[in-house]
Amino acid sequence: MTMQGKRVLITGGGSGAGENLALGFAAAGAEVVIAGRRLAALEAVTAKARGIRAVQADVTDEASVQRMFAEAGRCDVVIANAGQADSAPMVKTSLAQWNAMIAVNLTGVFLTLREGLRQMEGWGRLISVASTAGLKGYAKVAPYAAAKHGVVGLTRSLALEVARREVTVNALCPGFLDTPMTDQSVQVIADKTGRSLAEARGVLEAMSPQNRLIQPAEVTAAALWLCQPGSEGINGQALSIAGGEI
């Protein structure tokens, strides 16, 4: 696959799936701009490969997202990857927790895709990294699942708006990823249940029929495919990358 001559912006590019996306697109020849709140983490990624530069931004802030695109320059591919997870029973979920999940996981995607589309000329790809939680429910993560379901709805609606252009809009919905975010979930499970870290990780692995965590490289491969010739008809889709869980 080649991405020569294309500029790709990836939010949440300082770790996990975002880092893998940045390295994968850079390896394919793209000019990559990664964005996030933690500049040190972003710079650590830029040091790993040529063709990657960093822009500090907060996707929950409209002005910050607009500055992000101004600094990045016109982008051909925009990947809204930034996200956070939290876990609590509904009756113990505070309004602050709800607002935080909606802000980063849904509003952040809205702002990123809106500004990305505003500056997009000709051929373009808008991709969000959602979750299987955008396609089904999981206990004790209602705000997170609500936000990710919102991303899927946003994707389907926006795809219809751009259908007559050379732009497609799709969401990637991985299961539990082998990333630092999942490591945090594993720690929470271990702390709350008394299980070992290995046992807690096994709980998440068992949610997949393949009994494993999804690798970030699988998300990157799907995103690259959506940018290649032959993917033009893939529009408004929420692609599950979950070993058959969905």
- Please report whether residue 245 resides in a domain: no
Residues contacting residue 99 through CB under 8 Å, at least 6 positions apart: none
pLDDT at 235 over 90: yes
CATH number at residue 119: 3.40.50.720
* AA identity, residue 102: I
pLDDT (average), residues 79-98? 95
- Please report whether residue 246 resides in a domain: no
Catalogue the long-range contacts made by 139-143 (C-beta closer than 8 Å, 24 or more residues apart): 140/87, 140/88, 140/89, 140/90, 141/85, 141/86, 141/87, 142/90, 142/93, 143/86, 143/93, 143/97, 143/98, 143/100, 143/101, 143/102
Which range marks the domain in which residue 203 is found?
Answer: 178-213
- Please report whether residue 243 resides in a domain: no
- Look up residue 215 and give its DSSP letter: P
pLDDT (average), residues 86-92? 93
Contact 84, 106 (CB under 8 A): no
Residues 116 and 160 in one domain: yes
Per the prediction, the chain carries an average pLDDT of 96
Give the pLDDT of residue 46: 98
- Please report whether residue 184 resides in a domain: yes
Residues 94 and 157 in one domain: yes
Q: Give 3-state DSSP helix, strand, coil % of the chain, rounded to 5.
A: 45, 15, 35
Residues of the chain with pLDDT > 70, as a percent, come to 100
Q: How many domains does the chain have?
A: 2
Residues 149 and 191 in one domain: no
Residues 117 and 188 in one domain: no
**What residues are labeled active site?**
144
Residues 197 and 225 in one domain: no
For every residue of 123-150, DSSP letters joined together read SEEEEEE--GGGTS--TT-HHHHHHHHH
